[in-house]
Structure formats: structure tokens, C-alpha cells
Amino acid sequence: MIGHQEVNLLTNYIAREGVAISFYLNTDGSERARSIWDIETKDLVKKARKELDGLNIGRKSVEAADESLRRIQQFVSMENPAARYKSLAIFANSVEHFYQIYWLPMPVKSNLVIDTNFYLRPLLAMLEEHYRIGVVLADSRHVRLFEVYMDEIIEHHDFALKAKPARKPLLETFMKREKRLMQRKEEQTRFHLGSVAELLKSMSANRHLDKIIIGARKPLGDHLARLLHARLRNNLIGVFEIDIHAKENEVLSKALAAERGFELDEERILLRKISVEVEKDGYAVKGIKKVVEATQEYNLQVLAVAEDFSQPGLVCTQCGMPHIEGAACVCCGGMLVQVSDVVYDLVEEAVRQGATVRHIRGENLIGSLENIAAIIKFKKGELVQLEETAETEI
């Protein structure tokens, strides 16, 4: 799983020696055969070798880069990824012994980039769209914490250790005999859940958890939910029933189902909002042409795109701005090259501009929005109109 710190490391990486190689491979099994990945990798590596020859870097760097490329190619030919992975990203610099592999849950455009820092736009776009979720399992005495991110799961064993043991019941010496067993047990459980909620608060800040899911038997789960700190309670996206000793796989599938349910609600709300705005010619546009236009005007706030939507187009070789037609980049005048699917570039550019991107998987309404639509920040001519009105008023 790609951790918050690893993302920071990649983002801040600058090769002092050698070159930084970023490799992306689309391994989406639904449309592509395994032999295609091999061929595609071979082609990308071949192209990269040619590029290396033309670079003015020392022999040592070239040899190290060659080693990285060989390693990448070998990895691709050996590996048999789980079906849920749609792409692979490898970041490497052999001179500095840097080599990191990530299997990713969304498809990307296959690409190999050689530079002094890593090419992270596709990765960052994907990270941006996923929540880092803390899944807390609890019973009356135990607790476990898992982190789920981009369809992967890890357990944080230190969480269970940090949870305080249940305190002895209050006034024990005093009322020992009088107190009924039930009552004592209730008190213990409440104390335990309270300390879990407390611990979760600090843990979620440390781990940069965006959302929380609770797994516990009824009514314990709902009770823990009420004990959560306000910020965490607002980020709670699901409570499900599960045994405290459940296997990691079961926790993952239940957590993903809860996440999916939450996303479906989000999708529905977003698309309704876009439809209403489009209908009244307000703050939204639909269709690839208008969305690309809004992107070129830095006018995107939220981009919604059907998961399987693709569209050929053009991309600026200088600034990466996507286009549907034209001879030169409308933003910088740079040269445009054809790409088989401009949607990847559009998504990357949207994230770079700070817009939220949502790939729509389950909501039918996206069809009536021509598979791609966006909430925009401003309408054309809006500001001029405002000024004119102000002037007439004077």
C-alpha cells in the first residue's frame, strides 16, 4: 500500500545522480491481454534506450538507467497480478538504489518518462480520487485498526497494543458485592470504547485518514460511532457487523462495500447537481468539447467522467493541455500531438489545476450528461456583465 510518507518521498524526489525513471503500464485485463503488456513494455523500453543515448549524462548514469529498464522489463514479464489491479507504476533510479513498485486499482495510460524527478501526474490523479480509510474493529474488550487505501489493506498492530486495558470498575472496594455483574460489564465496555474513540482521534491525524468505518456487533458499533470525536463522526461512512477476529480479506471486502455505498451516494448527489446547473445554463457544462474548453480556461471545479469513457484528441507537447481540435495549443502556442484517449490527460490536468475528479461507476445519469461533465467556477462574460451593471448604476 502506498503510504502518505511514500507519496511525499516520491513528490520531493530529485535525482542527484543518474536519472529518475517513471514507468506506467495499463494492465486492465478487461480489455487487454497479457501479451500486449509485454509488447508495450518492450516498445517503451526501446524508446527510452534511444532517448538515453541522446542525453548528455555520464556513462555510469546510462548504465544504471539501462539496469533499471532491464529490471522493469523483467518484472513485467514475470508478474501475475491480482485481477483487481488495473495498472502498474514503477519508479526507479539504479544509481541511488531507488526502486519502487505499485499496483494500482485504476487504469492509466502506459508511459515511460526519463527526467531528474519522477513523473507523478497519473499517480497523483489516482491518489486524489481515493479515500484513505481507517477501519476499526471492536468488541467489548478488543480493538483492531486497519487502513484501506486504493483497494488494499494493512493492519496497524500497534493500535491494539496502545488501547488501554479496561479500567477496574469504579468504587469496586466499596460496592463490590452490591454491584451486579451486568452493570460492571457495561461500565467496562463503555470505558473500553471511550478509550478506542480517544486513540482513534490521534491515530487518524497521524495516518492522514480521510474516512472512518466501524466493524462491530450490534449495538456496539453504533455506540462507538456516537463516542467518536466530532470530526471523525462527520467522516464516518459506514458501520457493519463483523467478528473481531475476522480475516484481513473479509475486512477488506466489507470495507470496500461500505466505501462503494458511500461513493454511490456521492455520485448521485453530484450528478443531480450538475444536471440542474446544466439545465438552467448555470455553473456546469456537459460533453467533452465544453469540458475541455473549461479546462483550458482553468475553470474546472469538479470533473465527473464515466469510468469507461474514452475519446481521441490532442495534447500540447509543452504544457500538457488537452485539446479536441486545433493546430497549436490555445494556452501556450505549443505543438499538439494526437493521443488515442485524451481523457487521461484531461483528468491529470484537472487534478493539477486543483479540481476534484470523480470517475462515475454506478450512476446512470452520466449517460444523459454525454459521459463527461463538470461543475465550473465561473460563467463566460459573468464578470464583465457585473462591471457593466455597476457602471450603469453610477
Residues in contact with Zn ion by CB under 5 A are 316, 318-319, 321, 329, 331-332, 334
- Distance CA(372)–CA(232), nearest Å, equals 32
User: To the nearest whole angstrom, how small is the minimum distance from the Cβ of residue 296 to Zn ion?
Assistant: 9
> Nearer to Zn ion by C-beta: 154 or 330?
330
User: To the nearest whole angstrom, how small is the minimum distance from the Cβ of residue 16 to Zn ion?
Assistant: 30
What nine digits make up the cell of 337? 500531438
> Nearer to Zn ion by C-beta: 312 or 326?
326
> Nearer to Zn ion by C-beta: 282 or 320?
320
Cα 152 to Cα 98, 358, 374, distances in angstroms: 23, 19, 29
User: To the nearest whole angstrom, how small is the minimum distance from the Cβ of residue 375 to Zn ion?
Assistant: 24
- Distance CA(55)–CA(119), nearest Å, equals 18
User: To the nearest whole angstrom, how small is the minimum distance from the Cβ of residue 295 to Zn ion?
Assistant: 12
> Nearer to Zn ion by C-beta: 127 or 324?
324
The answer to whether the beta carbons of residues 374 and 302 sit under 8 Å apart is yes
> Nearer to Zn ion by C-beta: 332 or 383?
332
> Nearer to Zn ion by C-beta: 335 or 386?
335
User: To the nearest whole angstrom, how small is the minimum distance from the Cβ of residue 330 to Zn ion?
Assistant: 8
User: To the nearest whole angstrom, how small is the minimum distance from the Cβ of residue 350 to Zn ion?
Assistant: 15
User: To the nearest whole angstrom, how small is the minimum distance from the Cβ of residue 340 to Zn ion?
Assistant: 19
User: To the nearest whole angstrom, how small is the minimum distance from the Cβ of residue 109 to Zn ion?
Assistant: 18
The answer to whether the beta carbons of residues 214 and 221 sit under 8 Å apart is yes
Q: What angle do CA 257, 129, 374 make, to 5 degrees?
A: 110
> Nearer to Zn ion by C-beta: 288 or 315?
315
User: To the nearest whole angstrom, how small is the minimum distance from the Cβ of residue 207 to Zn ion?
Assistant: 38
Cα 272 to Cα 290, 362, 373, distances in angstroms: 19, 13, 11
Q: What angle do CA 67, 72, 75 make, to 5 degrees?
A: 125
User: To the nearest whole angstrom, how small is the minimum distance from the Cβ of residue 93 to Zn ion?
Assistant: 28
What nine digits make up the cell of 292? 475541455
> Nearer to Zn ion by C-beta: 170 or 319?
319
**Segments of the chain assigned E as strands:** 20-26, 87-93, 98-104, 111-115, 133-138, 143-149, 152-156, 211-216, 236-240, 284-286, 300-306, 313-316, 322-323, 336-339, 356-360, 372-376
Q: Which helix (H) or strand (E) holds 196?
A: helix 181-206
User: To the nearest whole angstrom, how small is the minimum distance from the Cβ of residue 319 to Zn ion?
Assistant: 3
Helix, strand and coil content of the chain, in percent to the nearest 5, comes to 45, 20, 30
Q: Give Cβ neighbours of residue 394 (< 8 Å, ≥ 6 apart).
A: none
Q: Which helix (H) or strand (E) holds 203?
A: helix 181-206
> Nearer to Zn ion by C-beta: 228 or 355?
355
> Nearer to Zn ion by C-beta: 314 or 355?
314
Length of the chain counted residue by residue = 394
The residue to which cell 483492531 is assigned: 144
Question: Within a 13 Å sphere around the CA of 223, how many CA atoms are in the beta-carbon half?
Answer: 17
- Distance CA(137)–CA(149), nearest Å, equals 17
> Nearer to Zn ion by C-beta: 64 or 321?
321
